[in-house]
Structure 1
Amino acid sequence: MTSPNAAPAVPDKLDGTVLKIASVVVLGAIMSILDVTVVSVALPTFATEFDSTYATVAWTMTGYTLALATVIPLTGWAADRFGTKRLYMTALILFVLGSVLCSFAWDITTLIGFRVLQGLGGGMLMPLGMTIMTRAAGPDRVGRVMAVLGIPMLLGPIGGPILGGWLIEAASWHWIFLINLPIGIVALAAAFIILPSDRPSPSESFDFLGMLLLSPGLALFLFGVSSIPEVGTVASARVLVSGAIGLMLIIAFVFHALRKDHPLIDLRLFKNRQLSVAVITTSLFIVAFMGAGLLFPSYFIQVGGHTTLAAGLLMAPQGIGAMLTMPVAGRLVDKIGPGKIVLTGLPLILIGLGVFTQVAGDSPAWLLMGALFVMGLGMGCTMMPLMTAAIVTLSNEQVARGSSLMNIVQQTAGSIGTAVMSVVLTNQLLDRGLDNQTVAMQHVPEVAAQQPPGAVDSILNAAADAFGNTFMVATVLIALTLIPAFLLPRKKTVNPALEAEDVPQIMMH
């Protein structure tokens, strides 16, 4: 047990030192997460500027995601080898450099390439931030740490579409990338001054074979999955060949990792029952929640006829709801365990999503904003408690690997959710003789004026019905998430691996 002399070093609240470290980590995470949602509203602008199809410009987001998935497996080893502070500053430099290069892109190909470079930096920021924060706070305050790290996840969906829409309208698309330069310089200076220097522990040899199997495997698998909306079918050579090769490489990595002493990603962590349950619950939740989240702005713009800026503002209640519950959930999860919190959050998300399954062409904005607010309340009780459930039982040496594992799960599930919901919506629209462009054009006065009486309302109601059916798929997936969530612990978790460790030593590690 921890000695009485060590107890004061772990106050119940997050102290000033931890909060300073948190400010650095949150700055980097905000840039990384905000960048995804900022770019999402710029896709139509890219299509016009570079004379490209929507499917082509979508790779500015997909390329970024693939880079994230490729680099995350390396982060755990690199953190041990080079130290978290040095690696975090390197990731910031890569991200800011990629951002500046994106603003100078001269065609869509170079923009996608520079987005990949940006993603290589962005992919390391979140798992490194989790590792730095968890080590600084100690095991008894992981829930509150996760609540702090949840701030960027809230600001992304709220601020991203609003900021992106405003920058494009007030200046130009270049500024959605250039905005990262001043923020990145501040984050870099703060990281240099505030982050504690840690001693690298390069005792483990680098798993080159694991890297050659897992990183390309993840990239190819996600490339195949992400190609489904563009080619319109799973039965495409591009989808099947890349997906199958990627899956085979991932399976080969599993066999390799289970035999190797120090693999790139330690799959033996799955022997930890609580982590395994948290991973399964998180995977189902992210597929549904992220997939549905992609469609909310599309519904507001294409069916509701709102501008990108207005759509961003309509999404704000979701983030506000999460901001109310996430700090409370972070405190409670350290005291009563994650199970009760997650089982409170998931039904709230079900209620909110249930409203969207009934959308029509003229659904009132106040009703949908209310539904998003309720979903936000649930999200604040779900996302970070699940991360806490996975991380809290790990030893200090396992935290970096566990963080990398959970981030890979999130990125992969998010990509699958986005692809699944995009395919379902596309097929729902095609069944009604519609596509996204036809629906959006109904809000152009010149086009609407040429339609016979009632035709515009009929088209918008049919499109709303397609969206509603797609939201129903997400709702069913959230309901299924309740099954593994019932297996999460419903009392405070005691970590036997850390029980006998001296917490001040953990904080200095």
Structure 2
Amino acid sequence: MTETAPPAATPQFTPVTDRPWAALISLCVGFFMILVDMSIVAVAQPHIMAALHADVNSIVWVSSAYLLTYAVPLLIAGRLGDKFGPKLIYQIGLVVFTLASLWCGLSGSITMLIIARAVQGVGAALITPQTMALISRMFPPEKRGAAMGIWGTVAGVATLVGPLLGGVLTDSFGWEWIFFINLPVGLIGLVMAQMLVPTVETHDHKFDWIGVILSGIGLAALVFGIQEGQTYDWALWVWLLIFGGGAVMGLFVLWEAKTTTEPLVPLGLFRDRNFSLSSVGIATMGFAVSGMMIPLMFFLQLVGGMSPTRSALMMVPMAVLTGICAPIVGWILDKVHPRNVVSVGLGLYAVATLLAALWLHPDTPVWKLLIPVSLMGLASAGIWAPLAATATRNLPWQVAGAGAGVYNTTRVIGAVIGTAAIGALMMTRLARELPGIDVDHAEGSVAAQLPAPIRPGFADAMGQSIYLAAAVLFVGAIATLFLARPSHQTGPSGAPAEKSPVK
């Protein structure tokens, strides 16, 4: 197999700070807050549905609105970081996200909450690409795997803290506090960023506003059509909206290919095989993880009768194993072929997801469900940080912001489509498994266990919707089998580089 060369020669690395690890920890505060917020909301969904008198579809929109406004600005947020400095844009993103969290907690209706979550998504979009771009500026290529290992550890800890904190806050104080908790975290993040994150050299950019508009319209049409299809009985206009959204996304790609100035998505990035395949892999992971959290939490609470805190405790093995294994995997990644880590991780996560779907039944013992959850934790350590490090390792610093923006956009696009698709499949299966029953208003269904006759059908619908996540993950595992060995591991001819003597 012929190894592809990077799109451009990587300039000699120049350190931008003498405290890169302290700066990394500072950046992880904002990243941590975003991940915690996503997992907190998943745990509290049944209680939000009860408190705001919402239906299941509206609750899905609480996640989809956030992900949609997260995905579209990501493309331009990376460029904003390149132009005005990633530190400044990161701090602006923290401010937007923190204030939007306050708005979420004060929302008195499901519509207001959805709007506030959409603003939160904009803040998250400003934060995310700056963290990856700054890592590529602060750490030389041979140390980025270890740095991304820390990044992955933060993801694991956030996965643990988010559900647990969400469960405790929801049970003790109410669902509003899952958002209020972001206020002190955001303030701490701002202070740490000001003190520790370096100000780096900027690179001027022009902004492709036509690309922003086309991508926004295309994604919004796709997500709305997919998610609202069951609500409108898959009417003809719904299908036209879905196909129209796909056509607009096609126009977006054509526009990017023909733009002579600076496209929103530099298609030249995809000449690097690892960037392209890593983007496919992270899109499948975003699709599966974000989409399956909704049916899983509804199963644990409405079928299993668990409180938010107890359902959150079910995620502890996954988070602990990810947090323990991520730094080890990051260290290993700098020395082995990335496909040996990433493809195995995605394949293992697919198997674990399939097992979870098969075992979602009212009479399944808790210990049995902990098996796939634990496997997901092991698999995650080989996916999040290794994919990010592999995607960006060969990119020149001049396009680091754009590369990080495109990479994270593929992840969030996968997440928003996954949430919409699995949510739509969930509603379709509920209509099939429980015909004539209004689950949204069934006695005992709001933030409490469903009546016994409804539980088997509801559980089957939740499990069937998760099969889609497993199938998509298998696609990612196959795609990442074709990752190339990164340039720092190869000699001039593309052969594996000789190992340096141990000092």
The Cα shift of 1:137 comes to 0.9
Do structure 1's residue 489 and structure 2's residue 499 form an aligned pair?
A: no
The Cα shift of 1:253 comes to 2.0
CA shift in 2, pair 1:427/1:331, >3 Å: same
Instruction: After superposing the two structures, state which structure 1 stretch, 287-296 or 91-100, moved more.
Output: 287-296
Higher share of residues assigned helix: 1
Distance in 2 (alpha carbons) for counterparts of 1:329 and 1:390: 16
CA shift in 2, pair 1:97/1:496, >3 Å: farther
The Cα shift of 1:188 comes to 0.4
* Correspondent of 1:131 among 130, 133, 158: 133
Partner of 1:67: 69
Q: How does 1:23-62 map to 2 (within 5 A)?
A: 23-62=25-64
Do structure 1's residue 460 and structure 2's residue 461 form an aligned pair?
A: no
Distance in 1 (alpha carbons) for counterparts of 2:56 and 2:292: 20
CA shift in 2, pair 1:486/1:243, >3 Å: same
The Cα RMSD (Å) is: 3.0
Maintained 8 Å contact 2:78/2:401? yes
The Cα shift of 1:233 comes to 4.8
Partner of 2:415: 414
Instruction: After superposing the two structures, state which structure 1 stretch, 403-412 or 353-362, moved more.
Output: 353-362
Distance in 2 (alpha carbons) for counterparts of 1:25 and 1:474: 30
Partner of 1:83: 85
CA shift in 2, pair 1:302/1:103, >3 Å: closer
Do structure 1's residue 395 and structure 2's residue 390 form an aligned pair?
A: no
CA shift in 2, pair 1:487/1:354, >3 Å: same
CA shift in 2, pair 1:91/1:265, >3 Å: same
Distance in 1 (alpha carbons) for counterparts of 2:340 and 2:370: 26
CA shift in 2, pair 1:466/1:397, >3 Å: same
Partner of 2:142: 140
User: Residues 409-455 of structure 1: CA distance to partner in whole angstroms, max 9, x if unpaired?
Assistant: 1111112222222233333333322665588848999985xxxxxxx
Instruction: After superposing the two structures, state which structure 1 stretch, 458-467 or 157-166, moved more.
Output: 458-467
Partner of 1:279: 279
The Cα shift of 1:307 comes to 1.4
Do structure 1's residue 382 and structure 2's residue 383 form an aligned pair?
A: yes
Letter in structure 2 aligned against 1:147: G
Partner of 2:497: none
Maintained 8 Å contact 2:227/2:421? no
Distance in 2 (alpha carbons) for counterparts of 1:445 and 1:281: 37
Q: How does 1:356-367 map to 2 (within 5 A)?
A: 356-359=356-359, 360-367=361-368
Partner of 1:255: 254
Do structure 1's residue 475 and structure 2's residue 470 form an aligned pair?
A: yes
The Cα shift of 1:178 comes to 1.7
User: Residues 28-48 of structure 1: CA distance to partner in whole angstroms, max 9, x if unpaired?
Assistant: 011112112222333333333
Partner of 1:219: 220
The Cα shift of 1:119 comes to 1.6
Distance in 1 (alpha carbons) for counterparts of 2:209 and 2:156: 36
Structure 2: 5+ residue runs without aligned partners? 1-11, 495-503
Instruction: After superposing the two structures, state which structure 1 stretch, 107-116 or 64-73, moved more.
Output: 107-116
Q: How does 1:224-303 map to 2 (within 5 A)?
A: 224-228=225-229, 231=231, 233-235=233-235, 237=237, 239-260=238-259, 261-303=261-303
Letter in structure 1 aligned against 2:180: L
CA shift in 2, pair 1:163/1:236, >3 Å: farther
The Cα shift of 1:199 comes to 3.0
Distance in 2 (alpha carbons) for counterparts of 1:97 and 1:446: 34
Distance in 1 (alpha carbons) for counterparts of 2:445 and 2:169: 26
Letter in structure 2 aligned against 1:388: A
CA shift in 2, pair 1:252/1:310, >3 Å: same
Q: Secondary structure at the match of 1:336?
A: coil
Q: How many residues are treated as equivalent by the alignment?
A: 477
Maintained 8 Å contact 1:70/1:216? no
Maintained 8 Å contact 1:73/1:264? yes
Distance in 2 (alpha carbons) for counterparts of 1:41 and 1:444: 11
Maintained 8 Å contact 2:64/2:420? no
Maintained 8 Å contact 1:34/1:152? no
Letter in structure 2 aligned against 1:362: D
CA shift in 2, pair 1:437/1:401, >3 Å: same
Instruction: After superposing the two structures, state which structure 1 stretch, 382-391 or 241-250, moved more.
Output: 241-250
Maintained 8 Å contact 2:60/2:294? no
Maintained 8 Å contact 2:47/2:446? no
Maintained 8 Å contact 1:338/1:388? no
Letter in structure 1 aligned against 2:208: D
Q: Secondary structure at the match of 1:292?
A: helix
Maintained 8 Å contact 1:39/1:164? yes
Partner of 2:7: none
Distance in 2 (alpha carbons) for counterparts of 1:404 and 1:119: 14
Distance in 2 (alpha carbons) for counterparts of 1:463 and 1:58: 16
The Cα shift of 1:184 comes to 0.9
Letter in structure 1 aligned against 2:482: L
Maintained 8 Å contact 1:147/1:330? yes
Letter in structure 1 aligned against 2:263: P
Distance in 2 (alpha carbons) for counterparts of 1:53 and 1:187: 35
The Cα shift of 1:312 comes to 0.6
Partner of 1:432: 433
Instruction: After superposing the two structures, state which structure 1 stretch, 73-82 or 288-297, moved more.
Output: 288-297
Letter in structure 2 aligned against 1:124: L
Letter in structure 2 aligned against 1:62: S
Distance in 2 (alpha carbons) for counterparts of 1:64 and 1:113: 9
Q: Secondary structure at the match of 2:65?
A: helix
The Cα shift of 1:404 comes to 0.6
TM-score, scaled relative to structure 2: 0.86
Partner of 2:501: none
Distance in 1 (alpha carbons) for counterparts of 2:355 and 2:479: 24
Do structure 1's residue 331 and structure 2's residue 331 form an aligned pair?
A: yes
Do structure 1's residue 161 and structure 2's residue 163 form an aligned pair?
A: yes
